[in-house]
Structure 1
Amino acid sequence: MGYIAHIRESDGKIQTVEDHLSGVQALAEVYGEKIGVKHVTGLAGLLHDMGKYTNEFRTYLLEAVNNPDAPPKRGSVDHSTAGGKLLHILFHTEKLSMYPALLAEIVGNAIISHHSYLHDYLCSKLESPYLKRVEKALDIQEFERSKRCFFELVMSEAELEVYAAKAAKELEIYLDKPSSATIECKLMFLTKFVFSALIDADRTDTRLFEENKTVESQQDSMALFETYYEKLMKEINAYQSREDAQTPINLLRRDMSDQCDAFAEKPSGIYTLSIPTGGGKTLASLRYALKHARLYGKKRIIYVVPFTTIIEQNARDVRRILDDDVHILEHHSNVVNDADDEDEEIDGLINTRQKLKLAKDNWDSPIIFTTMVQFLNTFYAKGSRNIRRLHNVTESVLIFDEVQKVPVSCVSLFNQALNYLKMYGESSLILCTATQPALDYVERKLDMNADAEMIRNLDSVIDAFKRVEIVDKATDEKFDTDKLVDFISTRLSDVQSVLIILNTKTVVKSLYQKLKEIEVPLYHLSTSMCAAHRNAILAKVRKHLDDNEKVICISTQLIEAGVDVSFDCVIRSLAGLDSIAQAAGRCNRHGKRGIQQVFVIDHVEENLKYLRDIEQGKEISRRILVDLKRDRNEHGGHLLSVQAMEKYFKEFYENLKTKLNYPLPKLSKDMINLLTSEKKGKDSLHQDYKHNKGMNLPLFIANSYRTAAENFKVIDDLTSTVLVPYEDEGKELIAQLNGQETIEDLSRLLRKGQQYSINLFPHEREQLIRNDGLVYLLDGKVLALMETAYHKEYGLDLDNNGNFDLSMF
């Protein structure tokens, strides 16, 4: 019997190691060709499982087959070190040649890490986990056997040297490409790209073998985008026959849409789209994306939104227009919790845990809707499931909706990712919002294209779309909850609908309890509800609004970013200017009621002690309001002018500049320092190593990719995703995840699970465990709520008794 890579579950058929290595190489080359490094990624595919050419691993697999009730310990045989060790021996010699040695470091790290996450070249303990791994003492006889088998059955040593030379040349060309990025930054993104390509190629080849398929079916994106564009233009042209088509606002909407269409002919780059709220931003950006993708051969269109609450809305609108449910993916969060997996179990027999890893979750759909959290996780968070998607973010059009919501601590990381995608990823990036942040004024700037704004005469456009008056009630008086209830009651005598947006859960809870005394339909939207549940609540709210009935909605800021609702009156607690502008976008959205009022109040019961970003934004907005009260011509004459926004963001980022690089006080470093610091930099770990050891680290790369990933979280608390039993479909979904599914079925169910999941903070998960509110599925890799822990009206119930816990929204 030859050496075994995998044994198929259905018929016991063997995939040989050489077939697997060749298959992964071929896929990895396709992925790497997108940025001109096909031999670099192909080299990773060729060598990643070289360690399976051992008697030890073959025995390990056969024992697992013959003793299913008492299999050997998972991951007890190390097969991922051998390939990285071989590269280190061949190309990381005493007389280092820069590009072959760099190649060994980059590809070697991907290989040794492909069952966990990238190793640190240098960690905070001033050790090199990477070096320890590639210099690890392996059984000499087994290592020599694996080398001999590889050179005899896959590629000769001479052929490997030729192939590696091509890879080294690609690396040289990549690093020599003119860019504002440092070499360390280029190397960081390249290492992550190679790792992403290897992970996806390995899992895809294994899945194809398990499903008894020889090739992956490929969608013709160009033909699809052509069809989509025709459908979109049919929708846009249909507006021309409407009675109100010739109103000034609708003519301006059509003009801005036409401007986006013409702009699509420009080369890919980083651009801004500053259409005001109600200006048709979603369709205009889709029009740009479809045309640009067709003209420049982009593989996919990715919408990145700030909150899960608007993924389903935007995706629903696009699905309706394009008449396609198959090729549009909503990705809210990772349903499978496997970020901390540190084993080599994905190889050999395909069990339930392995199927979860092999399930398609790689962002290869033509159109994707996801969140800023998931986008940033793809580049910076721990877990092979996250980084697997990175290579598919290249050759794309990315629309960042409400980009002003990028968390302050992630601004520099966000800018670096976008600059990489522009320079190396062959992607076009659109910052789409009514309130453009000053992301090019920070230290690590966005490499924005010249004449980046897609819409001409922005000030005139903003004036034309003015539908609300901002009423300043924050600089002269204070509101508590009782006073706010009275004020809302007064407003309801003049208007039919009121939306109240406050800064903290505590004041929302207090206001909600007291508003229940008013005999008016009352709703809230909450992240404690799954997407399907939120859609149902929004449908009820919209029905009241469409029928011009009395209705009150109360929420934290989650409702203000892009949710398509239009209230007669909005009350917004004082916050950043961008938040006030977004709240105003939920008032008189279509301008049907002349000029309506948005009241800005100062709620004295809000405790912003732990919400420094909101507190900073609030104080800057207050100063701008005071300026406007003193001189009505200041800052462009009104709170939402281009000049006011520019002043706000410049001051906001200046006040918080110490947070922009994602500081890590425990390590006395920041994230940028861990990922991209120069070896000679005064604050680099390498300088600490040199001072401590009295010598240089014998590597070209000395950064801490794993430490950075372990410390990265877009929001303050790491959350875990849990499926919820909302309505019959949610309950059926949970019931179907019983471990007997095929990989194809798992892929389908996990995709559907995006609509029926919420995120739990650690303390919430612990409380549910204490209250027996959790169910563990698929060997504990997927969590679900008990039916009694999800209220059909209010969502998550931590007490697991169906009672509504107001502290949860």
Structure 2
Amino acid sequence: MLFASHCGMFLRDHLREVGERCRQFFFFESEENLEALAFLVGLTHDFGKYTTYFQDRLLGKKDWGKLSDHGFLSALYTAFAVERSAESFRMGEMEKFLPLVAFFVVFHHHLDLRSLGYVGERLEEGGESWVVIEKQITNLREHAEDISGELEALGLPPLSSFFEDLEPLRMRLRKAKYHFENHLTEERQAQIAILVLSLFSALVDADKKSAGKIEMIERRVLPASLVETYKEQHLGNQKNSGPIDVLREEIFVQVVTRVPSIDLRRHHLFTLTAPTGSGKTLTSFAFALKLRERIEKEWGYSPRIIYALPFISIIDQNFAILSQVLAQIEDFQENHSAYLLGHHHLSELRYEEGGEEKEIDMALSLIESWESEVIVTTFVQLFHSVVGFKNRLLRKYHNLARSIIILDEVQNVPGEYWSLLRRVFLLLARYLGCFIILVTATKPFIFEEGEAIELLPEGKRYFRTFSRVVLRPRLAKPQ
């Protein structure tokens, strides 16, 4: 018997492709190589499609209702497979939670994330969900020989062992859930939460790209001197035309020359506090380009640059400036979207690469997963991705890993969110290797003393020069 994952796609081929892509997409800062975990999650995420209930629905023969669903059954087999390989991950205390992490991720890969309590209810014996599982297991037994051959070819544990271990597995998952909720420190829970989000995002994006037959977009080179070249060509006559222009250039040089002195392992959080009109857009982007170049040389990967702003009006303005800077690259026009992408609720649904405009479904997939070197977006889009639960918004989360995130005009974030953002930024820096730059003229107290490096430490003196408005109160009544 042959098994399909989607119309025109064999299940075993889909599982193998998603496993490879999931391993490629996933990142989590750890001494151990967790890419093997990501591969295994991708390789097993659609195991439940081996039931004839699902195959009948896919082929249009009959919809068996909940018996045709595959998420819960797939999650159980994934947890079983991860448990069988858990010793190879050697993560100390976290190791015992990896089967639960894998179960949670696969359970939701077609859903929005829900609470661990909701998932725990599905593991209760005698519940409606478990009755469905028992019927699906009976169905798998009827075709065990065909399924076992495919699992063996994929290097996965045999069906017979899964059947025998199903009830003990259910109990171990419930025990791990209880231990997570009642015995772990808040920091350890946060660490596992970031692992879940990164793994979930990698799986969702890999799965959707495989199902949609979306080809990978080639990464592009961004010369570190783009901003300097742009300034020389477009602003050359203005650089020394007056005292304000001289100070803008002085600020620019002070900031970008900080890059070589940064300790890449310890320094991930930065602030740039400079007056309005001092050229913070180009300065912060130049800093990001030079930081990216240094990371490429020393660590061997190319960080994406994510430029987030509070308002669509200034997004359009800054997007236009960055377009002009990047337009100096020879193949920019024919690969516009691979270099620069604008993403907010009013942005145009277009993706141009290879000299052609992608079809609408492919364009949507590439835009929602932020397949570009530079992404200009809103605070809302960014924050809903780093603290959200929506499947669609979390799809891009894995591309946040090891990125350089610029938050311009960050003082516009309401004060009640500062504590949350500080916590999230610290976690992104620690576990996803993100470099975060807060750009503002009126620095909010998001980070505590010593947590972030100010890129313009003597910036106060520039505010006096850039103070170009004089208020003359006239309170006396007119004669």
TM-score range, shorter chain: 0.7 to 0.9
Q: Does the Cα contact within 8 Å between 1:121 and 1:130 map onto a contact in 2?
A: no
1:48 aligns with 2:45: yes
1:197 is matched with: 202
CA distance in 2, matches of 1:154, 1:108: 19
Q: Does the Cα contact within 8 Å between 1:305 and 1:400 map onto a contact in 2?
A: yes
| Matched AA of 1:396 | S
Structure 1 residue matching 2:437: 3-state secondary structure: strand
* CA distance 1:99–1:240, change in 2 (3 Å): closer
* CA distance 1:113–1:415, change in 2 (3 Å): same
2:169 is matched with: none
Q: Does the Cα contact within 8 Å between 2:37 and 2:82 map onto a contact in 1?
A: no
1:317 aligns with 2:321: yes
Task: Give the count of matched residue pairs.
Answer: 409
1:275 is matched with: 274
* Alpha-carbon shift at residue 109 of structure 1 (Å): 0.7
- The alignment's C-alpha RMSD in Å is 3.5
Please show how residues 83-102 of structure 1 align to structure 2 within 5 Å.
83-88=74-79, 99-102=94-97
> Which residues of structure 2 form unaligned runs of 5+?
162-184, 297-301, 349-358
Structure 1 residue matching 2:249: 3-state secondary structure: helix
* Alpha-carbon shift at residue 448 of structure 1 (Å): 2.1
* Alpha-carbon shift at residue 284 of structure 1 (Å): 0.4
* CA distance 1:302–1:360, change in 2 (3 Å): closer
1:393 is matched with: 400
* Alpha-carbon shift at residue 230 of structure 1 (Å): 3.6
The share of aligned pairs that are identical, in percent, is 25
2:257 is matched with: 262
Q: Does the Cα contact within 8 Å between 1:260 and 1:288 map onto a contact in 2?
A: yes
Structure ID, larger Rg = 1
1:331 is matched with: 343
CA distance in 1, matches of 2:36, 2:247: 50
* Alpha-carbon shift at residue 299 of structure 1 (Å): 2.7
| Matched AA of 2:283 | A
More helix by share: 2
2:354 is matched with: none
* CA distance 1:431–1:2, change in 2 (3 Å): same
Structure 2 residue matching 1:469: 3-state secondary structure: coil
| Matched AA of 2:393 | N
Q: Does the Cα contact within 8 Å between 1:85 and 1:135 map onto a contact in 2?
A: no
* CA distance 1:181–1:313, change in 2 (3 Å): farther
Q: Does the Cα contact within 8 Å between 1:305 and 1:370 map onto a contact in 2?
A: yes
* CA distance 1:410–1:57, change in 2 (3 Å): same
1:418 aligns with 2:430: no
Structure 1 residue matching 2:432: 3-state secondary structure: coil
| Matched AA of 1:294 | E
2:12 is matched with: 18
2:463 is matched with: 462
Q: TM-score, normalised by structure 1?
A: 0.46
CA distance in 1, matches of 2:463, 2:451: 22
1:27 is matched with: 21
Out of 378, 381, 390, the residue aligned to residue 374 of structure 1 is: 381
1:250 aligns with 2:242: no
Out of 298, 309, 312, the residue aligned to residue 308 of structure 1 is: 312
| Cα deviation code 1:320-339 (max 9, x no counterpart) | 12214432111112889xxx
CA distance in 2, matches of 1:250, 1:219: 35
Structure 2 residue matching 1:255: 3-state secondary structure: helix
CA distance in 2, matches of 1:318, 1:307: 16
CA distance in 2, matches of 1:48, 1:369: 32
Q: Does the Cα contact within 8 Å between 2:53 and 2:67 map onto a contact in 1?
A: no
* Alpha-carbon shift at residue 356 of structure 1 (Å): 9.4
* Alpha-carbon shift at residue 357 of structure 1 (Å): 7.7
* Alpha-carbon shift at residue 33 of structure 1 (Å): 4.2
CA distance in 2, matches of 1:433, 1:282: 10
1:128 is matched with: 120
Q: Does the Cα contact within 8 Å between 1:119 and 1:129 map onto a contact in 2?
A: no
Structure 2 residue matching 1:119: 3-state secondary structure: coil
Out of 169, 189, 202, the residue aligned to residue 184 of structure 1 is: 189
1:284 aligns with 2:283: yes
2:110 is matched with: 115
Q: Does the Cα contact within 8 Å between 1:419 and 1:447 map onto a contact in 2?
A: no
1:235 is matched with: 230
* CA distance 1:135–1:296, change in 2 (3 Å): farther
2:180 is matched with: none
| Cα deviation code 1:732-786 (max 9, x no counterpart) | xxxxxxxxxxxxxxxxxxxxxxxxxxxxxxxxxxxxxxxxxxxxxxxxxxxxxxx
CA distance in 1, matches of 2:123, 2:103: 10
| Matched AA of 1:292 | L
1:2 is matched with: 2
* Alpha-carbon shift at residue 398 of structure 1 (Å): 0.7
1:407 is matched with: 414
CA distance in 2, matches of 1:2, 1:397: 45
CA distance in 1, matches of 2:235, 2:321: 19
Q: Does the Cα contact within 8 Å between 1:119 and 1:130 map onto a contact in 2?
A: no
